[in-house]
Structure 1
Amino acid sequence: MSQQQDAPSIYATLASTFMQFPATDDPVSSDAEVVVTGVPFDLACSGRSGTRLGPNAIRLASANLAWEGERWPWGFALDEALKVADCGNLGFRYGEPQSLVDNLETHVERLLGAGKRLLNLGGDHFITLPSLRAHARHFGPLALIHVDAHTDTYSGGTRYDHGSMFHHAVQEGLVDTDRSIQVGIRTTYDRDDHPFEVLDAAWVNEHGPAAVVERIRARVGEAPAYLSFDIDGLDPAYAPGTGTPVSGGLTSDCALKLIRGLQGLDPVAMDLVEVSPAYDHAEVTSLTAATLALEYLYVLAANKR
């Protein structure tokens, strides 16, 4: 066999795991510090369905990022600083949302008990609620850093609803509202009785990422923080592949700078949700999602270094 045939290809495994990190079917016992989990659930969406296909689409798009050793602008190789493994997609009984809730809470609790941190790939945004419950039991009320076009604090939804998770999170005491912030909002909410500080999309686009990072850091402080990133926080020009697109959002460059700006804080988990590949073009949304998730891992690695 020739040397060329022997040479590994960045597409050799079709990115069956995120960033071609090692696969594991026993993440609790693995040596991974961070575990990537796909949550292929979209039974709580109110708009266009299809986000159940998001985790695998993000993994496939991540093949375009796997070739870069010392990633710009970090200047070091992630796998030399942080051990990451992908445990595949979470199982649950399709058509039975409560089984997703139960299984995801149990999964997160087991990993946190083993000292792991999590990167969850959705799926619709409802998956944040069971994950937050498990994290709050472990860390206490969390600072929520929420990037989205919608506040998802609507109280009139059903029991399983991707627009009401943070209403329930406040009611259940899962988040510390004095330490929490929502970024990129550009849909209606009750401004006179809203539990979170809001930096709406117009403010973000006018003031720029450095000002946003300053506000986030001042708000969150030293509290353990949960980063929940809905891809529709970006403008549809940068992320068309989502169920509820809203014009006037953030650029991908701004979003990357926001995540980079979390270095030095204590982000204990991230979920990246609402990628719906059926509405994507040239994998641009999936690639952006993969890049944002990778940037979060670099923040964890930089903090460790």
Structure 2
Amino acid sequence: MVRRLVGSRRVRDRAGHTRQRYGGCFGRSAVTGKRGHLTRDGVKLSYVDFGGQPEKTLLALHGRAGCGRNYAPLAQALRDNTGRPDWRIVGMDQRGHGWSDHATDRTRDAFLDDAAAMIEHLDCGPVVLMGHSFGGVNAYQLAAHRPDLVRALVIEDVGCRFGPAKPGVSWPLRWETLDQFLAFMRSTEIGMDRYLLDSLVEYEDGWGFRFSDAWHDEARAHITGDWSDDWAAIVCPILLMHGTKSWLVKREEMDRMAALNPRCELKIFEGAGHVPHDERPEEFVMALRDFLGRSAA
């Protein structure tokens, strides 16, 4: 048996904010979406389609340890007063995450080819491509190498230069109780970021994630390097978002990236951490709506 975390529970994020969790996301979201999948080179790739017009598709790539369901609140927020979606949000479970296969190939090309295959599978022409953290690297590299697939780009809190990964805390495979899990996460550098909870499920032998920490270590190793040339090569409009209290990337890197590509505009979330779409949801949606209206309408 595998059961997702449901119901409501108050949790405290890394910035110290207490939020209520309702059935897989913070805040009430009536949007559940439709689960779909495709198979590329024998690897099943899962996604959640939250509905909307195909010609206004936004494909969202989650961060490390996230999943496509992270974007249910965004899909809800991008609806009009009648409940109809202004944009079709599709949240992809990238390989090794969520309900997609944990394939042995964890190289950069594998992730980029997966995202390209997803866009082609959706059959809706060039999309707005959004990526958070690890997913942001995948998004901007795909935009650089396959400009025919991306009409506009939204990148949340990730840079272009990565040194070798530092040894970190080894995560247990299972926690006996949900309280043990919450206590452990608060002790880590990442803290209680909400997107992690969407990947948490209850197995027969306790609570665990729909991903492998060891799997992530290898995938992270392939990011090591300087991808500034890819960033500079992007030809579509870019919205780059950054929280000033991010544990991952510094403001100086964001300023450098904004100067490196003239198509980039930088949005700063003062006091937010690594996940502005959770920590500043209203401000995030306002900035996103404005960008989409000007750059991808």
TM-score (norm: length of structure 1): 0.41
TM-score (norm: length of structure 2): 0.42
Tell me which protein shows more helix as a share of its residues.
1
Tell me which protein shows more strand as a share of its residues.
2
Q: Which has the higher contact order (CA 8 A, sep 6+)?
A: 1
